[in-house]
Amino acid sequence: MSTIALPRNVRNTVPLLREPALLVPLVGAGVLTYLAILPLFMLFVGSFQVEVAPREFALTLQNYKAAYTSEYTYSTFKNSVIFAAGSAGLTFLLGTILAWLVERTNTPLRTIFIPIAVVPLILPGVLESIAWIFLLSPKFGYINVALMYLFGLESAPFNIFSLPGMIWAHSVGQVPLAFLMMVAAFKSMDPSLEESAMMSGASTWQTLRRITLRLLMPACGSVLLILFVRTLESFETPALIGIPARIYVYTSEIYLAFNEFPPNYGRGAALAVGLLLLSAAGVWLYTRSTREGKRFQTVTGKAFRPRQFDLGPWRWVGFGFLMTYFLIVVLLPFLVMLWASFLPFFATPSWDALSKLSFENYQYLYGFRPFWRAMQNSILLALMTATAAMVLTSLVAWIVYKSRLPGSWMLDFLAFVPITVPGIVLGMALILLYVAFPIPIYGTIWVLLIAYVTRYIPYGMRSASGSILQIHSELEEAAAASGASWWETFRRVTLPLLRPGFAAGWIYICIVSFREFSTSVLLATGESQVLSILLFSMFEQGQVTVVAAIGILMILTLLTIVAVFYKLSGRVGIQA
């Protein structure tokens, strides 16, 4: 007989008392199926139909033909792959160098860069792209203008409206993610593995190359994969830079099919199914690779005090890298946004322009009704999504990990499904579902609420299950053994212990909902307009300096949410 006891937390404790009526898990399964499965089913059905909500049910392959045998099929595929692979590579490179310098070397001032490196997380993807258009547009981009002036160049050295431009603008926004994941990987590496290499006579450089990098290989693979998938799913940069530059990827093709007149839902659905399969394959590979990684035990989940490499004089090169990253990637986009928001029309920084600075854009927004409506919608949606998603996922996580009910793993799976669904695909699926839906919620913010909650269930699930798993069952059992009934135990022990994880998940979902773009772009219209989409359409109409002002207000709102939240919840860390 094996002598290894199962971890306590998967053992149930007081089965009889703990078994809430079978109703709760059933309702949970119902809600999750409705949110995660039904739209995908409708999307799948829709991709084989001639029209939305047909009077007669007839299957056809013509949508797939239109989607995958057109003259654009090959170029879209090529662009998508180059965009995703290029972004994954660049993001990974920048994130890894940053993480290594900060975590594992003696680069001067490295500790203050840890919070700085994640600051760009607060900048919505749409704004990141707009800021880089301001900086690198071949016609008026500040960096181009400055370089042409300094070096007397004939033409602009950079062109943001190109594939490399898209890759750059998208990558710099994703670097914090890669940074955080690599920091975690570096942290969980057992330093004694490197020390024993040194004791075997390997030099610093040899150790780095032959031990450190080798050990990190599995982690690197999964980070690259997740970055690839996320880029493939993203629509911010493809919308703001790709569409004007006529560089189309899968997400923009879906959007364009939707924007034809009349909307070509069928082709959109067929494209969406393809993208969904791609992304699901990526996620599947990712979960497999991380599981493999665990098997090889390079990542032990334990935090070690890592060894620091002495870079010698090279540490100033490292410092230079960190400074450059800070100035160009973190600071510059904020500054250019701020500057532009005070301009009546777009102009290069100069003494002349300085005298034109004014609050005109902000005054304009003050009286601009659509802005207030969008602001209100965005804030409401962020608060409601975060609350609904966290309540739902806390319950689900509790059922999955604490009740021994048969089949509760199904709930876990259902809650994981949305992670494979790209935002724009979810938008497409929800359109197909709700256009024909008996309850008229299409075109209201309720559809957006449903969309956001669905999208962020996996995130909520992660922080909820994380904190539920951390509650050692014996903590709850001790309450029962002290005479506390099930409800007393839940209220006095379980809930208080859950609070930090709940709070961390809540704030994260709040932030990402507030800036959500790729689902909203298909679902938000008129009364249900949200900020990120308002920003997008006004930018398309050329009101760039007003857009900058909206962007600044958006950032301020996000910072306020975060600040208020920290104030209320005391010491709670954000989970990335």
Partner 1 sequence: MIEVRDLVKTFAEHRGDSVKAVERVSFKVEDGRFYTLLGPSGCGKTTTLRCIAGLEKPDSGEIEVSGAKVYSSINGTFVPAYRRPIGMVFQSYAIWPHLTVFENVAFPLRVGKHRFRNEEVRKKVGNALEQVELGDLGERMATQLSGGQQQRLALARALVREPQVLLLDEPLSNLDAKLRERMRVELRELQRRLRITTLYVTHDQIEALSMSNVIAVMSAGVIVQEGLPRDIYMRPRTQFVAQFIGSTNQLGGRLLRVQGEGLGVVRTEVGEIACGLMNDLSPGADVVVVVRPESIVLHRKRPAETINVVEGKVATVMFLGEYLDCSIELGKNVLQTHQPHSLQLRRGETLWVELPPGACMALPSENSSKES
Residues that bind ligand ADP (CB under 6 A): 1, 5-6, 11
Asked if 493 interacts with partner 1 (CB under 8 A), we say yes
- Specify the DSSP class assigned to residue 69: S
Pick one of partner 1, ligand ADP, none as the site partner of residue 281 (Cβ within 5 to 8 A by kind): none
> Judged by CB under 8 A, which stretch of 105-113, 138-146, 479-487, 543-551 contacts partner 1?
479-487
Q: Which residues are registered as beta bridge partners of 402?
A: none
Count of residues near partner 1 by CB under 8 A: 28
DSSP 233-298: H--HHIIIIITTTT---HHHHHHHHHHSSS--HHHHHHHHHHHHHHHHHHHHHHHHHHHHHHHHTS
Asked if 497 interacts with partner 1 (CB under 8 A), we say yes
From 420, 453, 451, select the one nearest 523 (Cα to Cα). Answer: 451
Of the candidates 215, 383, 435, 475, which one interacts with partner 1 according to CB under 8 A? 475
Distance in Å, CB of 496 to partner 1, minimum: 5
Distance in Å, CB of 562 to partner 1, minimum: 24
| CA dihedral angle for residue 247, residue 252, residue 253, residue 258, rounded to 10 degrees | -140
Asked if 411 interacts with partner 1 (CB under 8 A), we say no
From 240, 217, 261, select the one nearest 535 (Cα to Cα). Answer: 240
Asked if 474 interacts with partner 1 (CB under 8 A), we say yes
State how far the Cα of 420 lies from the Cα of 458, in Å rounded to an integer: 10
Position with the least CB separation from ligand ADP: 11
Distances (CA, A) of 326 to 110, 132, 172, 235: 12, 15, 11, 25
Asked if 482 interacts with partner 1 (CB under 8 A), we say yes
State how far the Cα of 544 lies from the Cα of 134, in Å rounded to an integer: 9
State how far the Cα of 302 lies from the Cα of 297, in Å rounded to an integer: 11
Asked if 504 interacts with partner 1 (CB under 8 A), we say no
Residue 494, token pair as written in the block: 């379980």
Three-state secondary structure of 158-227: CCCCCHHHHHHHHHHHHHHHHHHHHHHHHHCCCHHHHHHHHHCCCCHHHHHHHHHHHHHHHHHHHHHHHH
State how far the Cα of 320 lies from the Cα of 97, in Å rounded to an integer: 12
Asked if 410 interacts with partner 1 (CB under 8 A), we say no
Pick one of ligand ADP, partner 1, none as the site partner of residue 439 (Cβ within 5 to 8 A by kind): none
Of the candidates 300, 485, 525, 560, which one interacts with partner 1 according to CB under 8 A? 485
Of the candidates 81, 85, 484, 562, which one interacts with partner 1 according to CB under 8 A? 484
Would you say 39 and 433 are in contact if contact means Cβ atoms under 8 Å apart? yes
Distance in Å, CB of 5 to partner 1, minimum: 6
Q: Which of residues 70-129 bind partner 1 (CB under 8 A)?
A: none
Pick one of ligand ADP, partner 1, none as the site partner of residue 548 (Cβ within 5 to 8 A by kind): none
Asked if 413 interacts with partner 1 (CB under 8 A), we say no
Pick one of partner 1, ligand ADP, none as the site partner of residue 483 (Cβ within 5 to 8 A by kind): partner 1
Cis peptide bond upstream of 262, omega within 30? yes
Would you say 452 and 534 are in contact if contact means Cβ atoms under 8 Å apart? no
Residue nearer to partner 1 on the CB measure, 15 or 157: 15
Residue nearer to ligand ADP on the CB measure, 13 or 378: 13
Asked if 488 interacts with partner 1 (CB under 8 A), we say yes
Distance in Å, CB of 13 to partner 1, minimum: 5
Residues in the chain: 576
> Judged by CB under 8 A, which stretch of 234-242, 247-255, 483-491, 558-566 contacts partner 1?
483-491
Distances (CA, A) of 479 to 230, 350, 457, 470, 494: 44, 69, 30, 16, 10
> Judged by CB under 8 A, which stretch of 13-21, 24-32, 311-319, 567-575 contacts partner 1?
13-21
Q: Count CB-CB contacts under 10 A for residue 313.
A: 6
Of the candidates 150, 439, 481, 568, which one interacts with partner 1 according to CB under 8 A? 481
State how far the Cα of 465 lies from the Cα of 369, in Å rounded to an integer: 41
Pick one of ligand ADP, partner 1, none as the site partner of residue 482 (Cβ within 5 to 8 A by kind): partner 1
Of the candidates 115, 262, 301, 496, which one interacts with partner 1 according to CB under 8 A? 496
Distance in Å, CB of 477 to ligand ADP, minimum: 12
Distance in Å, CB of 483 to partner 1, minimum: 3
Distance in Å, CB of 14 to ligand ADP, minimum: 12
Pick one of ligand ADP, partner 1, none as the site partner of residue 22 (Cβ within 5 to 8 A by kind): none
Of the candidates 479, 510, 511, 522, which one interacts with partner 1 according to CB under 8 A? 479
Of the candidates 24, 45, 480, 576, which one interacts with partner 1 according to CB under 8 A? 480
Of the candidates 93, 277, 472, 556, which one interacts with partner 1 according to CB under 8 A? 472
Pick one of ligand ADP, partner 1, none as the site partner of residue 150 (Cβ within 5 to 8 A by kind): none
Radius of gyration of the chain (CA): 25
Pick one of ligand ADP, partner 1, none as the site partner of residue 497 (Cβ within 5 to 8 A by kind): partner 1
State how far the Cα of 36 lies from the Cα of 393, in Å rounded to an integer: 13
Would you say 47 and 66 are in contact if contact means Cβ atoms under 8 Å apart? no
Distance in Å, CB of 9 to ligand ADP, minimum: 10
Q: Is 32 exposed, middle or buried (0-12, 13-18, 19+ CB in 10 A)?
A: buried
Distance in Å, CB of 6 to partner 1, minimum: 8
Interface residues with partner 1 (CB under 8 A) are 1-5, 8, 13-17, 472, 474-475, 477-485, 488, 492-493, 496-497
